[in-house]
């Protein structure tokens, strides 16, 4: 099939590369000329393990990028993979989606024959049918369900595992109200289902349900982490090992072992904005989402708790303090809503001299905090530091040993249970 993907960011590039690998012809549309040039040169515009190889194989060949929406007309189906960030009040900002829908509508106006538009972005229930479809109708002068079709197909992949998650998903959710849309999407995914190592469930459902399934998925996982963090905080008060407790409750198959690592909490490009958007949407319908409010409150408190622990051990005013890890999780250079930011802010309020280290995210953080000192290695960050705060659970931090001997004062405060307590360091951890 000929598939087009509008937006070549994190999701758009990943799915475009995989659709090419599955044998589809792919046209990628983006407004960013640098992104378009990278794709056509066979280079990945984002950092994701394994993506460079796929881009080298298909970029500029069966995967071609363009800034020109007109090229979408040749495709059978268009996926909209545009950003849906937060407004200041937490509600969803649909401006990129609306702009893309209008541009796409203008192309559909000139097209003979059917076209399927699939919303891949995470959007609030009702958005696809009540906002996106009417914009396309208005710009094209055509009617949804008659002259073109619309569907919603949320994405559940994780950064750092994007390619593996996409090619071997637990489920593929197809939200559509007409048979032809369902049939076309099934054809797009058919080679993926055949190639998948597992046996992905195909969930055929309504458009609103598909939109809500995505928020429910993320809100559930974020709440699970906040719940284990709350329990971990109580464990700490009673001198109980929170990880031993988590390992034991995980044996109950109704709980399972995933997303039970307590610590500094969740960040990233999606949990914070998606939980904020669904809370704002609930309030708009005059429903008070008390549990989701608490999910965020617990998450917001974890960095403060880490800094309180530091205060229990030492006064860092005028002292060099190492911040170990800047990415919102290991395996990515993404620093969006990373827990490192409130930790760094708290240290600066305490007049500490911050030296930060991350294996891959340093350059991104330097743009936000150009005046901090950045170390090129964990050893360099620890040298002469009066305290070290572990923020991201990079494997290399678990292997640190003699490096601690170079600290001026070996106070180690662990936000992720990544350092093993040992003789020679003054260790404390959020949940240990
Ligand atoms: N990043 C992730 O891991 C996941 C993201 N999602 C959802 O996927 C959607 C896209 O997210 P990301 O890929 O992370 O966004 P992103 O910010 O990485 O990329 C968006 C791309 O769209 C382009 N763009 C913006 N306006 C445009 C327009 N009018 N026409 C054409 N291109 C335009 C930008 O230049 C950029 O390259 C969001 O709704 C997000 O919630 C869903 C699952 C996972
Ligand atoms: O909608 C999205 O964008 C994606 O959001 C998350 O994926 P991602 O943000 O890439 O990262 P996760 O691996 O889910 O981690 C999120 C945050 O939770 C934290 N976390 C995770 C698990 C855990 O046990 N403890 C914990 O603190 C991580 O450190 C990280 O800050 C979801 O896992 C994906 O299914 C979803 O598609």
User: What is residue 109's predicted lDDT score, i.e. its pLDDT?
Assistant: 97
Q: Which is the closest atom of ligand 2 to the Cα of 263?
A: 27
User: What is residue 34's predicted lDDT score, i.e. its pLDDT?
Assistant: 97
C-alpha atoms less than 13 angstroms from C-alpha of 422 in its C-beta half-sphere: 12
269 CA to centre of ligand 2 in angstroms = 9
Ligand number, closest to the Cα atom of 6: 1
The protein residue with its alpha carbon nearest to ligand 1, atom 42, reads 155
Residue ranges of alpha helices (H) inside 196-270 are 207-237, 242-249
Annotate 364-382 with DSSP letters as a single string: HHHHH-TTSEE-SSHHHHH
Q: Name all residues whose Cβ lies below 6 A of ligand 2.
A: 155-159, 218, 221, 225, 259-261, 263, 265-271, 328-329
Q: Name all residues whose Cβ lies below 6 A of ligand 1.
A: 6-12, 29-32, 35, 81-84, 96, 99-100, 121-122, 155, 157, 159, 269-270
Distance of CA 372 to the CA centre of its chain: 26
Rounded Cα gap, residues 54 and 42, in angstroms: 8
β-sheet bridge partners, residue 66: 29
- Is the domain covering 206-431 a CATH 1.10.150.530 domain? no
Q: Which is the closest atom of ligand 2 to the Cα of 155?
A: 37
Q: What is the pTM of this model?
A: 0.96
7 CA to centre of ligand 1 in angstroms = 6
Let me know: does 257 contact 249? Beta carbons within 8 Å. no
Does 98 belong to an annotated binding site? Answer: no
Taking only the tens of pLDDT, the chain with its 432 residues reads: 999 999 999 999 999 999 999 999 999 999 999 999 999 999 999 888 899 999 999 999 999 999 999 999 999 999 999 999 999 999 999 999 999 999 999 999 999 999 999 999 999 999 999 999 999 999 999 999 999 999 999 999 999 899 999 989 999 999 999 999 999 999 999 999 999 888 999 999 999 999 999 999 999 999 999 999 999 999 999 999 999 999 999 999 999 999 999 999 999 999 999 999 999 999 999 999 999 999 999 999 999 999 999 999 999 999 999 999 999 999 888 999 999 999 999 999 999 999 999 999 999 999 989 999 999 999 999 999 999 999 999 999 999 999 999 999 999 999 999 999 999 999 999 987
- 235 is known as an active-site residue: no
User: What is residue 432's predicted lDDT score, i.e. its pLDDT?
Assistant: 76
Rounded Cα gap, residues 373 and 377, in angstroms: 12
76 CA to centre of ligand 1 in angstroms = 21
Does 314 belong to an annotated binding site? Answer: no
Ligand number, closest to the Cα atom of 161: 2
User: What is residue 175's predicted lDDT score, i.e. its pLDDT?
Assistant: 98
Mutate to test the pocket of ligand 2, among 123, 154, 158, 415 (most ligand atoms within 8 A of CB): 158
Residue ranges of alpha helices (H) inside 22-131 are 33-40, 51-58, 95-110, 127
Burial environment of residue 143 by CB neighbours within 10 A (0 to 12, 13 to 18, 19 or more): exposed
165 CA to centre of ligand 1 in angstroms = 17
Q: What are the sequence ranges of the domains in the chain? A: 2-205, 206-431
**270, 321, 326, 335: which one is catalytic?**
270
Does 214 belong to an annotated binding site? Answer: yes
Q: Which CATH superfamily is domain 2-205 in?
A: NAD(P)-binding Rossmann-like Domain (3.40.50.720)
User: What is residue 36's predicted lDDT score, i.e. its pLDDT?
Assistant: 98
Does 362 belong to an annotated binding site? Answer: no
The protein residue with its alpha carbon nearest to ligand 2, atom 6, reads 158
Q: Which is the closest atom of ligand 1 to the Cα of 7?
A: 22
Mutate to test the pocket of ligand 2, among 159, 166, 220 (most ligand atoms within 8 A of CB): 159
Q: What is the side-by-side strand order in the sheet with 353-357?
A: 373-374, 353-357, 320-324, 387-390, 411-414, 426-429
SS3 228: helix
């Amino acid at each position: 099939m000929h598939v087009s993907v509008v937006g070549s960011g994190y999701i758009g590039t990943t799915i475009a590369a995989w659709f090419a690998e599955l044998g589809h012809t792919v046209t990628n549309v983006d407004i960013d000329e640098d992104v378009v040039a990278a794709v056509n040169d066979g280079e990945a515009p984002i950092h994701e393990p394994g993506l460079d190889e796929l881009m080298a194989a298909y970029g500029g060949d069966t995967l071609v990028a363009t800034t020109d929406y007109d090229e979408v007309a040749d495709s059978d189906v268009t996926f909209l993979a545009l950003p849906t960030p937060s407004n200041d009040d937490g509600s969803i900002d649909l401006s990129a989606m609306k702009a893309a829908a209008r541009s796409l509508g203008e192309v559909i106006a000139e097209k003979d024959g059917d076209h399927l538009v699939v919303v891949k972005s995470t959007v609030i229930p009702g958005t696809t049918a009540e906002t996106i479809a009417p914009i396309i109708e208005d710009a094209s002068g055509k009617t949804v369900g008659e002259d073109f079709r619309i569907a919603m197909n949320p994405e559940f992949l994780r950064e750092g595992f994007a390619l593996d998650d996409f090619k071997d998903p637990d489920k593929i959710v197809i939200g559509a109200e007409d048979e032809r849309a369902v049939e076309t999407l099934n054809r797009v995914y058919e080679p993926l289902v055949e190639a998948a190592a597992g046996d992905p469930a195909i969930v055929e459902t309504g458009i609103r349900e598909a939109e809500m399934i995505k928020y429910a998925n993320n809100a559930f996982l974020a709440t699970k982490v906040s719940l284990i963090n709350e329990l971990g905080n109580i464990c700490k008060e009673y001198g109980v090992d929170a990880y031993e407790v988590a390992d034991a409750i995980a044996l109950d198959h109704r709980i399972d072992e995933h997303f039970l690592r307590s610590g500094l909490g969740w960040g990233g490009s999606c949990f914070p904005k998606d939980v904020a958007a669904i809370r704002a949407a609930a309030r708009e319908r005059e429903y008070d989402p008390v549990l989701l409010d608490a999910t965020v409150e617990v998450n917001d408190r974890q960095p403060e708790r880490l800094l309180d622990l530091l205060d229990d051990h030492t006064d860092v005013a005028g002292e060099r303090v190492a911040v170990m890890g800047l990415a919102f999780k290991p395996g990515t250079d993404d620093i969006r809503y990373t827990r490192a930011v409130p930790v760094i802010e708290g240290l600066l309020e305490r007049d500490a001299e911050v030296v930060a280290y991350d294996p891959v995210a340093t350059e991104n953080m330097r743009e936000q905090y150009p005046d901090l000192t950045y170390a090129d290695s964990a050893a360099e960050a620890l040298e002469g530091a009066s305290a070290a705060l572990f923020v991201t659970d990079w494997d290399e931090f678990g292997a640190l040993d003699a490096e601690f001997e170079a600290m001026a004062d070996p106070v180690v405060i662990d936000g992720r249970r990544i350092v093993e307590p040992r003789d020679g360091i003054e260790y404390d951890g959020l949940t240990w």
